[in-house]
Structure 1
Amino acid sequence: MNKQKIELQFLLPSIPDSSDHCVERLANLLQAKAGIDLAHLLKSNGDGPDQICIHYDPSVVSTGQVRELARRAGVELDQRYGHWITKSPAIHARRASAIESRLGRIDGVLEAVMSPDGTVRAEYDRTKTNESTISDAFKEWAKSESGSTDPHAGYQHDEEGQDPGHAQSGHDHAHGGIFGPKTELIFAILCGAFLLVGWLLETFTEAADWIPVTLFVVAYFFGGYFTTKEAVEKIRAGKFEIDFLMIVAAVGAATLGVWAEGALLLFLFSIGHALEGYAMGRAKRAIEALSELAPRTARVRREGKETEVTIEELQVGDVVIVKPDERIAADGFVIVGESSIDQATITGESVPVDKQPVVDREAAAADPESIASEHRVFAGTINQAGAIEIQATKTAAENTLARVVTMVSEAETRVSPTQKFTTQFERYFVPSVIAGVVLLLFAPLVIDEPFSDSFYRAMAVLVAASPCALAIATPSAVLSGVARAARGGVLVKGGGPLESLGRLDAIAFDKTGTLTEGEPRMTDSRPANGVDESELLRIAIAVEELSKHPLAKAVVRDGRKKLGEREMGSGGNMSSVAAATNLKSITGRGVQAEVEGKLAYIGKDDLFDEVEGSPLPDSIRQTVESLEAEGRTTMIVRHSDRYLGVIGLMDTPREAAKRTIAKLRELGIKRMIMISGDNQQVADAVAKAVGLDEARGDLMPEDKVAEIKKLNSETGVAMVGDGVNDAPAMASASVGIAMGAAGSDVALETADVALMSDNLDHLPLAIGLSRATRRIIRQNLWMSLGMVAFLVPATILGLNIGPAVALHEGSTLVVVINALRLLAYQSK
């Protein structure tokens, strides 16, 4: 069985990311072809884009045929399936649900999700519908909901982009009207006022009966206006929810002549609805505030002249001038001046970070992701001390802040497992309630009571059994949790990862760059017998200069320093370092290159069991064992058939690692494991230093993936890495957590949870917040289901509509307020 790897973007150029449903469809299409045994996604390890790996039988299909089959399948999917995303003003959760349902009922729409913050996402079949149809339908519904004459047009992510950093700010409760967004709240208050006056006249005066009844009718109008509007919208969407049930109950009360009770029902429901929208607006504003962090304009120097431009006009390479106490307008690096930057809005760091100019401006511009943190700045952060000049590396639409705003908004459209459960529950529960109410209407046939009493009881049960609190229990908690995480420099991509992370009690850590500083230093250079140390260093430097691996950089940096000291002492010069060519990486083992016309190898001892040439001498093996016993990472150097010696390196554990591990234990994480490609002794030494129980070393990249899959099958595990070379392992874990995501596009794209700063101290916040969110979701579910379980039998046994709706709406408000507690969550 052979394998063929093809870039995903080549086959499916229109998909937003590798989590799109079309990737699974592509794999299924390919697996159905004769000769193809398996097709699966290979996430990028930082060396390139995501790929589709195809396992095929070469006796049935050739490599060329496999590529052609894959290309045709990709074209077929790309032509058939479209993806539409838009951003509208914030809207009430129930109304979002109604629009979502209506979008889903358009013939050809495969999936539609609308978040209360206004983000809408739809996937559709081009053979049955098109973007224009979906967009026009959404505009019509959005106009009826918000009163706006021009809701944001949608865009298709394979054709257009938007500037998420400047999305229209939503409002708390998107109902238009004569009083603007506050119309519903004012209508509810007017309902209560007319109800109160009518009741006072009816109870304490001898006014004609028609006067209080007229006031109750006016109260009905104000209390029922928006409720009726919602009910009609949802019935058109094929949904019978609380709005419909409330209107039926109010009409039933009026039919029985109990106008005051019907008006009270509508008043309590409408005021509860308005207050619930106001409370949910707090969570929405926490997310919307992100988009307001970037300044609208930037001061740039072009052709020697300073000019002010809008941030949309900023170009990569522009020099942006930032004065003290100003917000930085673009992602980039410092080229002039020194300052302290408050970057808490992006990375969550509590103290300002010192910044200084880069040494080599051209090199920094050529490889911006490799720029050290002391030179890098982000849009939306605040320059505190001195004036600085930065060179922009990204446009406004592509900068880190814009990407975070987009991802946080889109995270709200990713439905969590509990949300799926509650949606399924409502789908069967509401029709069951309606059927039960119809049965209650026939109670006079069984017990001796007038029909009016049975009708009243049935209306009360309608109110009591509505799963209103259940519908909002999970979305409100997820919205608050994602908003709080973003404020703390943690990007959580939806309710799924948020819930999953809160359920896990095992975490696997990568070693290099995660538990350690990721900046190894060369500590030892041990030449073989009869070899001069200068020769060992010259050959090692020559080969490693061609590599970008952190260990290679350490060998070059520290080796040159050591070689320079030796040669200056002997009157020599550094020109004796030869140039190497034809570098080849031997995955997980080492590298080879040509130096002075001969092959040179640098790598682990395993490498020399595989390559041709003389076997590893015992003396070299003993040196390796001695250095590894001291916690060193070792590299053996061979030039042609001559073994030149061993180089030892050490990567020191992070200061934050030990306290982070301790905090995670306090949070209830029971099992923490380190996985590393380093030898077992080094892995054990680092694990012991940071307080881990288990360390697994000598792992090849595929071994890491296998280890994570094994742990996942046993207990479920989160994988913490740097988001670049750990991407395959993170993709295999229940939840992938990337560190330092603010500086890495790959980390932002591949992880389920991204720690924006390169700081382990933020990991306990992510874990603790996810656990708190899961706990609050469970509390909300029990509260909402418990209230229904109490009210249904209570109303059957005689509880009036008024108290029933008061308890019902009260439970909904309690659920939302309980969820809002997450906005104030503090890591212990």
Structure 2
Amino acid sequence: MTAISLWRWRHIKWPKYAPREHHPFEEDERRWKREAWFALGCFLSGLTGFFSSHIFVHSIAALVCYILAYFFGSWYAVGEAWQHLLKKELDIHFLMIAVAAGAAAIGAWREGTLLLFLFSASGAMEHYAMGRTKKEISSLFRNAPKTARILTENGEQNVPVGDLRAGMRVLLTPGKLIPADLEVTSGESACDESNLTGEAYPVSKQRGDVALAGTMNLWGALEGRVIRPASESSLQKIIRLIREAQSLKAPSQQFTDRFGTGYTWGVLGLCLGMFFIWWFAFHLHPFISTEQEPSAFYRVMTLLVVASPCALVLSVPSAILSAIATGARRGILFRGGAAIETLATVRTVALDKTGTLTSGILKLTTAKFFEVDEERIRSIASTLAALSEHPLSVALRKALPNCPHLDIRNFTSVAGQGLQGEVDGHVYRLGSQDFVKATRPTVEIRHRGAEVWLAGAHPLARFVFEEAVRPESKNTLKRLHRLGLHTVMLTGDRQQSAEEIGRKVGVQEIRSQLLPKEKVAAIEELKRACRSQFRSARIAMIGDGVNDAPCIAAADVGVAMGSRGSDAALEQAEVVLMKDKLENFVLAYLLSRKSKAIISQNIVIALGTVAFMIGTTFLYPIPLAFGVAAHEGSTLLVVLNSLRLLVARF
């Protein structure tokens, strides 16, 4: 990608759901190869002209070779400059073309050719680097299905994936990718979900289970009902996050944009002023150079080259794009450069318990009934739970299968408390012990798991659930502590249950029995405490559910768990751990710190080179060829430094 393309931060074309004949990275591959051939033509023509000028004095052949070299070397630069001139903008390509034309005007064909060769070669290398970055991301979704087999009244029919709508019946054969998020209606099989969730083993699928778009049906035939259009599938959510990541600028990128907006005009003004200063104040000939002393125009051309900010323009976006590609390859999606830079300054990490530190899979361990008619109590509990997607409600439904559902009226859901509804004229509540106490106090029973109470006029049942701690949680928190980060667990569970999980994983601070709004207040309090120690310190919040979305939005950096996270959590998050692996947060943090360090290095290299070369040009008449080498060398150095992120090890 050329310098000005990144300066203006143009959107990169990313893959649609259905694969196309040509992927976005293929255009970059063709572009850099064409630029490389043009750069080679410039080099060979210039080299021929150089030897011709030494063998034959006043050789027309040398001039023809140099003109041919100018043609090859300026082909793409002229096109870019012309496009921006039509918009009444001046860019780096304009500066390079102006210098090359000026060099030709004073007979410095050799220096002009060298400039164009290095500029076109660096453009080819930049396109190669950016093409590789996009190829890393495109490869994640290259195998998305193109068509789907649907079942209609007239039999089977193949339709484009983009035409799938909710409610359509889809036939899934073994070895095929699932075209959209489906609910299995018949058949049994297993799916390979490793590309989305990171799960190494096949996940069994039977009636009632959800099969995610982009995963593979392994061995059995399935029939499924489309839950949502392909454009709203889990896979598409991830692709949209990647697309958004390219358009959200990092703070450093915003700085270089502001710096570069008026820089071109400033450089032209400086060069014009120095031309007259060297001409009238230092008595240099305006256009004719001698062996002892270059002309004022020659020195201005050198100044114009060394002052061009190509390296600065590439310093931030090249690093950001490399970091985004590296993260995507490892199951980490950054929602733009700002997320990368902000994550590097995090000092406190708040974590939700259910689904983040734990697996989120709840199992019923105790069921205590306080009345004889257990079957009716089960039906009431199952009916109320069926109207909620809270993890405890889902677990209760699975624990009470095949219970007949009853007619419920006046159903209400109280956030953070529970559910309430009328059955046969009687009010029943399903939820926390405190919520149920509103009808009649219950007997206190000590337990370590999460509990759900059912009560009418008096307590009817008590269900206790336990959830497994993620195997990686303890080691992940240890690594965060070694990195100097403070960890806090925020949960709505009772204190005893929260402390039990906190003890197992080794979290440093526990805040329990929090309602959603209290979690947000806790985040704000942690932010104030964090900034009181370090002004630049930031806080990250890791969660996965709908109830975590406000906290994720309130934190400086919101992190959502996995492709199965709720839409609300994904939309609020700046970072998504795509494969549902908590340990990837450590990788994300280390990658962000490495990226921030490389961005700082790039800016120092770019500004340092420009400042040093401008100062040298003021004090000493350096050759134009030396200025060209320094300018293009710093640009290539910045790009290569950024590409280190593609092979970084953590």
Query: Equivalent residue of 1:397, what SS?
Result: helix
Cα 1:639/1:766, change in 2 over 3 Å: same
Cα 1:307/1:428, change in 2 over 3 Å: closer
Q: Distance in 1 between matches of 2:230 and 2:379?
A: 40
Q: Which residues of 2 match residues 7-46 of structure 1 at below 5 A?
A: none
User: 1:652 matched to which residue of 2?
Assistant: 468
Aligned with residue 250 of structure 1, among 91, 96, 100 = 100
Cα 1:333/1:355, change in 2 over 3 Å: farther
Q: Is the 8 A contact 1:325 1:385 kept in 2?
A: yes
Q: Could you tell me how far 1:679 is from its partner in structure 2?
A: 2.1
The one-character-per-residue Cα deviations of 1:673-720 (angstroms, maximum 9, x if unpaired) are 110111223222211111100010121111011111222344321111
Q: Which residues of 2 match residues 287-366 of structure 1 at below 5 A?
A: 287-290=137-140, 292-303=142-153, 305-334=155-184, 341-347=191-197, 349=198, 351-358=200-207, 360=208
TM-score scaled to structure 2, two decimals? 0.86
Q: Could you tell me how far 1:471 is from its partner in structure 2?
A: 1.0
Q: Distance in 2 between matches of 1:595 and 1:409?
A: 48
Cα 1:260/1:696, change in 2 over 3 Å: same
Q: Distance in 2 between matches of 1:337 and 1:555?
A: 25
Cα 1:543/1:580, change in 2 over 3 Å: farther
Cα 1:783/1:382, change in 2 over 3 Å: farther
Q: Is the 8 A contact 2:234 2:563 kept in 1?
A: no
Q: Is the 8 A contact 2:32 2:123 kept in 1?
A: no
Q: Could you tell me how far 1:199 is from its partner in structure 2?
A: 0.7
Q: Could you tell me how far 1:526 is from its partner in structure 2?
A: 5.8
Question: Aligned AA for 1:660?
Answer: T
Cα 1:724/1:808, change in 2 over 3 Å: same
User: 2:70 matched to which residue of 1?
Assistant: 220
Aligned with residue 728 of structure 1, among 524, 540, 550 = 550
Q: Does 1:673 align with 2:494?
A: no
Q: Which residues of 2 match residues 42-121 of structure 1 at below 5 A?
A: 92=2, 94-95=4-5, 97=7, 114-115=10-11, 117-118=12-13
Q: Is the 8 A contact 2:31 2:124 kept in 1?
A: no
User: 2:533 matched to which residue of 1?
Assistant: none
User: 1:775 matched to which residue of 2?
Assistant: 597
Q: Is the 8 A contact 1:338 1:354 kept in 2?
A: no
Q: Distance in 1 between matches of 2:175 and 2:546?
A: 34
Q: Distance in 1 between matches of 2:461 and 2:225?
A: 44
User: 1:686 matched to which residue of 2?
Assistant: 501
User: 1:491 matched to which residue of 2?
Assistant: 333
Q: Which residues of 2 match residues 116-127 of structure 1 at below 5 A?
A: 117-118=12-13
Aligned with residue 417 of structure 2, among 560, 578, 589 = 589
Query: Equivalent residue of 1:523, what SS?
Result: strand
Q: Which residues of 2 match residues 189-588 of structure 1 at below 5 A?
A: 189-203=40-54, 205-290=55-140, 292-303=142-153, 305-334=155-184, 341-347=191-197, 349=198, 351-358=200-207, 360=208, 371=209, 375-379=210-214, 381-385=215-219, 389-441=223-275, 442-447=277-282, 449-451=284-286, 452=289, 453=294, 454-525=296-367, 532=370, 534=372, 539=377, 542-543=380-381, 545-547=383-385, 548=388, 549-555=390-396, 558=399, 560=400, 581-588=409-416
Q: Is the 8 A contact 1:747 1:754 kept in 2?
A: no
Q: Distance in 2 between matches of 1:250 and 1:552?
A: 72
User: 1:707 matched to which residue of 2?
Assistant: 522
Question: Aligned AA for 1:170?
Answer: P
Question: Identity percentage over the alignment?
Answer: 35
Q: Is the 8 A contact 1:742 1:748 kept in 2?
A: no
Q: Could you tell me how far 1:225 is from its partner in structure 2?
A: 2.9
Q: Distance in 1 between matches of 2:617 and 2:188?
A: 70
Q: Distance in 2 between matches of 1:470 and 1:793?
A: 17
Q: Distance in 1 between matches of 2:410 and 2:510?
A: 35
Q: Is the 8 A contact 1:510 1:674 kept in 2?
A: yes
The one-character-per-residue Cα deviations of 1:735-766 (angstroms, maximum 9, x if unpaired) are 22111334644443332222233332333333
Question: Aligned AA for 2:469?
Answer: P
The one-character-per-residue Cα deviations of 1:657-687 (angstroms, maximum 9, x if unpaired) are 2122223334x25111110111223222211
User: 1:633 matched to which residue of 2?
Assistant: 450
Q: Distance in 2 between matches of 1:591 and 1:539?
A: 15
Q: Distance in 1 between matches of 2:435 and 2:187?
A: 47
User: 1:57 matched to which residue of 2?
Assistant: none
Q: Is the 8 A contact 1:544 1:553 kept in 2?
A: no
Q: Is the 8 A contact 1:675 1:699 kept in 2?
A: yes
Q: Could you tell me how far 1:315 is from its partner in structure 2?
A: 4.5
Question: Aligned AA for 2:274?
Answer: L
Q: Is the 8 A contact 2:3 2:310 kept in 1?
A: no
Query: Equivalent residue of 1:673, what SS?
Result: strand
Bigger shift: residues 240-249 or 505-514: 240-249
Q: Which structure is richer in relative contact order (CA contacts within 8 A, separation 6 or more)?
A: 2
Q: Distance in 1 between matches of 2:230 and 2:259?
A: 43
Q: Distance in 1 between matches of 2:201 and 2:263?
A: 53
Cα 1:542/1:580, change in 2 over 3 Å: farther
User: 1:188 matched to which residue of 2?
Assistant: 39
Q: Distance in 2 between matches of 1:280 and 1:721?
A: 32
Cα 1:665/1:738, change in 2 over 3 Å: same
Question: Aligned AA for 1:639?
Answer: G
Query: Equivalent residue of 2:24, what SS?
Result: coil
Q: Could you tell me how far 1:412 is from its partner in structure 2?
A: 0.8
TM-score scaled to structure 1, two decimals? 0.69
Q: Is the 8 A contact 2:28 2:130 kept in 1?
A: no
Bigger shift: residues 401-410 or 212-221: 401-410
Q: Is the 8 A contact 1:241 1:466 kept in 2?
A: no
Q: Does 1:806 align with 2:629?
A: yes
Query: 5+ residue gaps in structure 1?
Result: 1-90, 101-112, 120-161, 361-370, 565-573
User: 2:534 matched to which residue of 1?
Assistant: none
Q: Is the 8 A contact 2:92 2:264 kept in 1?
A: no
Q: Could you tell me how far 1:273 is from its partner in structure 2?
A: 1.5
Q: Distance in 1 between matches of 2:464 and 2:74?
A: 78
Question: Aligned AA for 1:353?
Answer: P
Question: Aligned AA for 1:418?
Answer: S
Q: Is the 8 A contact 1:594 1:600 kept in 2?
A: yes
Q: Could you tell me how far 1:163 is from its partner in structure 2?
A: 5.1
Question: Aligned AA for 1:546?
Answer: L
Query: 5+ residue gaps in structure 2?
Result: 531-537
| Superposed CA RMSD | 3.4
Q: Is the 8 A contact 2:315 2:606 kept in 1?
A: yes
Question: Aligned AA for 2:10?
Answer: M
Q: Distance in 2 between matches of 1:321 and 1:604?
A: 42
Question: Aligned AA for 1:400?
Answer: S
Q: Distance in 1 between matches of 2:266 and 2:372?
A: 84
Q: Does 1:751 align with 2:573?
A: yes
Q: Distance in 1 between matches of 2:107 and 2:630?
A: 23
User: 2:535 matched to which residue of 1?
Assistant: none
Q: Distance in 2 between matches of 1:405 and 1:554?
A: 31
